[in-house]
Chain A
Amino acid sequence: MNAGVRLHGVRKTYGDGTVALDDVSLSVPPGRFVSLIGPSGCGKSTLLRLVAGLEAQDHGQVSVHGVSPEDACAAKLIGLVPQTPALLPWLDVLRNVTLPRRMNRRAAARRAEIAGVEARAVLQEPDMLSLLARAGLAEAVHRLPSQLSGGMQQRVAIVRAFGLRPDVLLMDEPFSALDEFTREALQEQLLDLWDELQTTVLFVTHSIQEAVRLSDTVVVMAPDPGRVVDVIDIDLPRPRGQQLLEQGRFHAYEDRVRNALRGAWRVPGAA
């Protein structure tokens, strides 16, 4: 199967000799929600940047729906939610979320050339408005980013990415700057949107609970050199509401991830 996201034997080093990723292989079937978790510096963001075609690997292959990240981006198959909302301060919420759709207008034609990718109509403005409403931003449609709270700004960034109807959604610690309550509310909204649009998600997080709650699969990574140490499938029913977080089987998965992470901290070669 060539759909979804595939990394094979990927190695990435930086100029100063840092091995950000070493022989990383990962296969994400379409429509899966996959979290990447691991200590700081284990190459999670690097992995996302490779999939987004923002940087090139030294060795190995990266493919999105069977094509290179560059071609996938040219066809607008990929949506990115960075760690900061990265909104344009002079545009109101609606213009912020619609601007990426108005760029690179030849993407639709390129999309049609990629096998296995359905031809999708671009979301029209009413659809964007309802998407904003679904994210609780109906009141804020014509406000500037500086007039929004941090949580609202992050929701705008998520709607901006979903509005592209991406086949792959890349999220780099999108909730890390938010308080606990906002974070849980946003997790729920994210799952809600994901359920409807059924995109493949690569989600970077530092929170074990967040990873287990959101994901079909949790990928545990370790640093020096950056690598994948464990892949844990989360076999829990959806929708995953608040009450699930208190159940034993949820905690069992959290413990498995925690143990895998503990192993990841142990630096190879150290006593």
Chain B
Amino acid sequence: MATTLSRSVDSRPTRTQRGVLQRLRISLWMPPLVLISVLALAWQVTAVEMPFLLPPLQDVAATLATELPYYLQNAGITLFESVAGLAIGFVVAFGLAVLTSESAVIRRAVMPVAVVLNVTPLVAIAPALVVAFGFGAAPKLIITALICFFPILINTATGLRSVPQQVLQVYRTVRASRLELLLHVRVPSALPYVFAALRIVFPLSIIGAVVAELSAAGATGGLGTVISTASSMNQLAVVYASIFILALLGVALLGVITLVERRVLRWHRGTTD
């Protein structure tokens, strides 16, 4: 859109130059690359000066390269815990959101409890859950589900009630049933809100799984377990290698959800852009 405007401005690059620049997308990857380089340099300087603070980057790369299967196996465990926990939290929260949007009584009952749950530092429950459920997958799934629960509940409930009054009136005059309204009008209206919640909740689910693993270091493994074991043995490179993989996991999950959202909410992009 700016191409036609900028043609008259002499100091701007010519159109062909602009074309090349745009194709390379330099403006897209240059700034983060510069920042990352600066950070990496600062990291290396720190690692050399104070080796107890940070491990040299080549050590991190070395452990990743030599023990990749070990990291991938543990990443798989953490990924499973976070996605399964999120799925459980999603089903419960979505179901409750539907119930609260259909019944004022249920809404009044559920919402205060949900808000209390939200302000409770759920991470602090993790040790108690380990005591209660042992070192298996259960406490990890519960923590993750709890952390994901509230954003999904609130967003979905808001979305289900976001249908404009006049739309509801049109479908009420043909006596659409509650189920028909829910399936054809309310749930589709809520989808943009649901995806907004998912974008918040996917990174949270990894945090939930890792925190649960940290406080229940043991049998089932996972990157959280790797981190807590390695840090007790002063293996900083292993700790940061695990953190690096966790970050990659988060980015990958966010990428997946963005792709799905693009497909499902094609209609919505036109209305907001």
Contacting B at CB under 8 A, from A128-148, are 144, 146-147
B184 in contact with A99 (CB, 8 Å): yes
Contacts of A99 in B (CB 8 A): 184
Instruction: Please classify how large the interface on chain A is, using the bins under 10, 10 to 19, 20 to 34, 35 or more.
Output: 20 to 34
Query: Could you say which of B169, B180, B185, B270 contacts A82, with CB atoms under 8 Å apart?
Result: B169
Interface string of B157-185 (1 = CB under 8 A from A): 00000001011011111111100100011
Query: Could you say which of B169, B176, B180, B188 contacts A88, with CB atoms under 8 Å apart?
Result: B188
A86 in contact with B175 (CB, 8 Å): no
Cβ of B268 under 8 Å from chain A: yes
Contacts of A84 in B (CB 8 A): 164, 166
Cβ of B29 under 8 Å from chain A: no
Query: Could you say which of B164, B167, B176, B191 contacts A104, with CB atoms under 8 Å apart?
Result: B176
Contacts of A144 in B (CB 8 A): 267, 270
> Please, how many angstroms separate the alpha-carbon atoms of A52 and B166 in the complex?
12
> Please, how many angstroms separate the alpha-carbon atoms of A80 and B167 in the complex?
10
| In the complex, residue of chain B having the shortest beta-carbon distance to the beta carbon of A92 | B267
A73 in contact with B173 (CB, 8 Å): yes
> Please, how many angstroms separate the alpha-carbon atoms of A214 and B209 in the complex?
66
Cβ of B271 under 8 Å from chain A: yes
Query: Could you say which of A89, A107, A164 contacts B268, with CB atoms under 8 Å apart?
Result: A89
> Please, how many angstroms separate the alpha-carbon atoms of A52 and B171 in the complex?
11
A146 in contact with B271 (CB, 8 Å): yes
Query: Could you say which of B167, B173, B184 contacts A53, with CB atoms under 8 Å apart?
Result: B173
Contacts of A88 in B (CB 8 A): 167, 184-185, 188-189
Q: A88-B188, A89-B268, A144-B270 are in contact. Are A82 and B174 (CB under 8 A)?
A: no
B174 in contact with A164 (CB, 8 Å): yes
Complex A-B: 6 CB contacts under 8 Å: A49-B169, A73-B174, A74-B175, A78-B173, A82-B169, A164-B174
New A-B pairs, 14, CB < 8 Å, besides A82-B166, A89-B268, A107-B174: A53-B172, A54-B173, A76-B174, A84-B164, A86-B170, A88-B189, A103-B174, A103-B177, A103-B180, A103-B184, A104-B177, A104-B180, A107-B175, A146-B271
